[in-house]
């Protein structure tokens, strides 16, 4: 009877039974996270955090999911116990190695495209948590004066206990879809220390806002998706369209797909906020208001109206972008040197591997590196214009905005269709404009090197 009800419910909203089961468990993280506020003891909160996450994983994905989660968790913990001086790099490669193996075995991207679901998405989040915990414990051995500010803030001097570690890894509010956060923040939240030491601000207004946002995002996605199916890229009618109609369809298909992610992240944000963990301090306004940025994974208007491709990592999948910056990008920069295209490309490659070994992912993240590098060239030209050329500056701002919209939605087709054949076919249908344009801008950046702004020279003369 339950199965029949699940099938009818799934059919009513146009998803498969496994996806419906996942969504129900995902929504359940909100009341489960709310109840965590009322558990009196520190150990009890760790047990509740680990147990509730494991139980909801079991309901959503089956018993095998928790076995998959145990592998990187144990590998990370053992490396911290046995090889502290190298535990960060060991856990990084072992964690990613196991994740890649699961990506290959399950081929999750194909399942997701066809409406299926498995535990690989949750494993992706868990892998980042395990790696960051090990790297921060590794940083605990280093001299504080040699560390960047995020390293100083997040480093771990003492090894977390096994129950603390399990609670952090499986905390149900972030276990399914993020956001990723630091072990140190989790421990302070559980132990009611740091910013959680005093009375907590009410989370209900912020939680309601996140839930209303999630409802709007899902409604818009369900309305748009029948009009812009990914299958149309390979249909004869698409080939009959002109260049501009194909380009506009690429924009609308990318625009449509993003609302699915906005929905998931908004629900996850609600879960973290209502637990109290999403609290991140107070504004400087009078009177001060609580901030809930720790749970924020996307700025919807920031993505859709981004003035520059450089802004996108700051507003899309925010916590993973922060993780990539702190644990990949910054650590590839040699002391005393500035980051360049290599660090950007390496970071985007790690992000691609984290998502899965599909050609579409690889192409998309290489495209992203080109897109950001091209946007930086436009920005440098804009900054080099003297203040009196205000109209020209505004034109450059608009050009960067238009460039970002075009290249982002061109590039994200690869992220959505995944296969090499479909990705190349969609790019070819618009004459590879989103690949050629960034490369041309990067090359022009080497030729047209703008002088420093006039105001900088004035200051130097003074």
Catalytic residues: 355
- Are the C-beta atoms of residues 346 and 330 closer than 8 Å to each other? no
Q: How far apart are CA 329 and CA 361, in angstroms?
A: 19
Q: How far apart are CA 38 and CA 20, in angstroms?
A: 29
Burial of 424 (0-12, 13-18, 19+ CB in 10 A): middle
Residues 6+ apart with CB under 8 A from 442: 370, 373, 374, 377
Question: What are the φ/ψ torsions at residue 298 (nearest 5 degrees)?
Answer: -155, 145
Single out the residue of 70, 119, 124 nearest to residue 99, CA to CA. Answer: 124
Q: How far apart are CA 261 and CA 416, in angstroms?
A: 12
Burial of 449 (0-12, 13-18, 19+ CB in 10 A): exposed
CA atoms within 13 A on the CB side of 376: 15
Task: Tokens 């399914």: give the residue.
Answer: 176
Q: How far apart are CA 323 and CA 297, in angstroms?
A: 12
Tokens of 196: 């959680």
* Number of Cβ within a 10 Å radius of residue 65: 20
Q: Provide the sign of the torsion angle of the four alpha carbons 217, 223, 226, 230, taken in this order.
A: negative
Spell out the alpha helix ranges (H) of 62-144.
63-82, 87-106, 108-113, 120-139
- Are the C-beta atoms of residues 309 and 371 closer than 8 Å to each other? yes
DSSP assignment of 398-417, as one string? HHHHHHHHHHHHHHHHHHHH
* Number of Cβ within a 10 Å radius of residue 41: 9
Whole-angstrom CA distances from 247 to 217, 381, 435 are: 24, 27, 13
């Amino acid at each position: 009877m339950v199965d029949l009800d699940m099938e009818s419910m799934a059919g009513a909203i146009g998803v498969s039974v496994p996806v419906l089961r996942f969504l129900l468990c995902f929504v359940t993280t909100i009341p489960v996270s709310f109840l965590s506020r009322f558990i009196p003891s520190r150990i009890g909160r760790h047990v509740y955090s680990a147990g509730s996450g494991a139980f909801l994983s079991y309901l959503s994905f089956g018993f095998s999911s928790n076995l998959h989660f145990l592998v990187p968790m144990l590998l990370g913990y053992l490396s911290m116990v046995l090889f502290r001086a190298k535990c960060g790099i060991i856990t990084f490669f072992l964690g990613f190695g196991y994740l890649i193996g699961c990506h290959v075995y399950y081929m999750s991207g194909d399942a997701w495209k066809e409406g299926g679901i498995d535990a690989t998405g949750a494993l992706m989040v868990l892998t980042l948590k395990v790696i960051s915990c090990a790297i921060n414990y590794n940083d605990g051995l280093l001299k504080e004066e040699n560390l960047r500010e995020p390293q100083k803030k997040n480093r771990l001097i003492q090894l977390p206990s096994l129950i603390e570690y399990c609670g952090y890894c499986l905390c149900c509010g972030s276990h399914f879809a993020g956001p990723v956060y630091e072990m140190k923040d989790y421990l302070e939240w559980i132990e009611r220390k740091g910013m959680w030491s005093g009375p907590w601000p009410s989370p209900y207004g912020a939680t309601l806002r996140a839930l209303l946002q999630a409802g709007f995002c899902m409604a818009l996605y369900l309305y748009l998706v029948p009009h812009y199916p990914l299958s149309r890229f390979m249909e004869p009618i698409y080939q009959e369209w002109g260049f501009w109609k194909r380009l506009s369809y690429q924009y609308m298909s990318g625009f449509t797909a993003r609302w699915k992610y906005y929905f998931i992240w908004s629900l996850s944000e609600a879960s973290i906020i209502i637990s109290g963990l999403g609290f991140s301090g107070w504004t400087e306004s009078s009177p001060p208001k609580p901030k809930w940025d720790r749970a924020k994974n996307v700025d919807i208007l920031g993505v859709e109206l981004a003035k520059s491709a450089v802004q996108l990592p700051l507003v899309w999948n925010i916590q993973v972008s922060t993780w990539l910056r702190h644990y990949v990008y910054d650590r590839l920069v040699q002391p005393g040197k500035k980051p360049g295209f290599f660090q950007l490309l390496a970071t985007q490659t790690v992000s691609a591997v984290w998502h899965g070994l599909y050609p579409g992912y690889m192409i998309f993240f290489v495209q992203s590196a080109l897109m950001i590098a091209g946007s930086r060239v436009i920005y440098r030209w804009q900054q080099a214009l003297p203040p009196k050329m205000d109209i020209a500056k505004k034109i450059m701002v608009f050009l960067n905005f238009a460039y970002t919209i075009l290249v982002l939605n061109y590039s994200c087709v690869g992220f959505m269709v995944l296969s090499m054949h479909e990705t190349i076919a969609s790019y070819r249908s618009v004459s590879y404009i989103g690949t050629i344009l960034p490369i041309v801008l990067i090359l022009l950046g080497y030729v047209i090197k703008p002088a420093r702004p006039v105001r900088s020279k004035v200051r130097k003369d003074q």
